[in-house]
Amino acid sequence: MKNKISLSLLVVATLLLAGCYPVSTFQGNTIVMTEADGGCGRMPTMTIFAHMRCQEAFGRSSAVFLKSQEVGTCPDNKAIKMVFECQNLKGGGTGASASDTSRLELRAMQTRKFLKSPTVVVKAITELNKDKGSKCVGLSVPKYTCQGTMQDVVVGDKTVKKCMAADGVSSGLVKMQSSVAECTNSTGMNASYEIDSNFPANNQTIVRIRLSNSSNPQIADPTVYSRIFKEIADGLFIDAIQLTPAEMQ
């Protein structure tokens, strides 16, 4: 068994060096492996490359499981096409349901607070999805209105303006524009963004992301969410860098 694995890895390394490797196509969490010329490809090589592509798309804890293969007139150990399913080994990831995860755990992994205005954060999320080639609908800054009066309220040692209802106690704040957006990438992964802020200061932004794909209504893998939030944070850092004309050349 070890000799077969070593031989397969050697074949993969040789193909990489030669610039030859199977073609992968995602359909949700299903990955189809074929040869570029449509001919017969080595099954072990296709399997290894499918595993690599699956981990790149859905996280390092993912594995592939063979769903079907088309052999045709190919000789032994070769196939025209192999279809795999990406699944998460930890359970509760891209290949498993989030039903075993509590609502509190989901909220914790899906929500982050950024100490930036909604305008800045939404721009970072927009640019991130553009860079990934995702198609987004509804990405916008949330808008609010005060259905009451703006009053001075003492918070700690500071006096701040707050929107208060007619009773002078409860908030009269109404969110006017939906801050929910839907983005879908080429692998079939869907991301729903809920964006809120600390009105009226608007110097903080709360972002909740819900991920799903064709086989899972809600993904519950904290590593996937952590990676996306890090990418947003990295984008905020990049956007804050002021480039001079000389640096841009």
Residue 50 located in a structural domain: yes
The structure's pTM equals 0.55
Q: Which residues contact 59 (CB under 8 A, 6 or more apart)?
A: 88, 93, 94, 221, 223, 224, 227
For the stretch 44-54, pLDDT in tens is: 888 888 888 88
Range of 159's domain? 145-175
Claim to verify: residue 9 and residue 63 sit in the same structural domain = yes
**pLDDT tens by residue, 115-160:** 999 999 999 999 999 988 888 988 899 988 888 888 888 878 888 8
Mean pLDDT of the chain: 78
| Buried/exposed 6-40: b ≥16 CB within 10 Å, e otherwise | eebeeebeebeeeeebbebebebbbbbbbbeeeeb
pLDDT above 60 for 28: yes
Domain identity same for 119 and 6: no
Same domain, 168 and 210: no
- Residue 152 and residue 53 share a domain: no
What pLDDT, on a 0 to 100 scale, did the predictor assign at position 193?
A: 94
Confidence bin at 215 (pLDDT 50/70/90): confident
Segment 211-225 shows an average pLDDT of: 82
Burial of residue 242 (CB within 10 Å: 0-12, 13-18, 19+) is exposed
Asked if 105 and 202 sit in the same domain, the reply is yes
Task: Kindly report the number of other CB atoms within 10 A of residue 164's CB atom.
Answer: 19
pLDDT for 1 equals: 41
Whole-angstrom distance, CA of residue 102 vs CA of residue 96: 14
The whole-angstrom separation of Cα 242 and Cα 244 is 7
Tell me how many domains the chain contains. 3
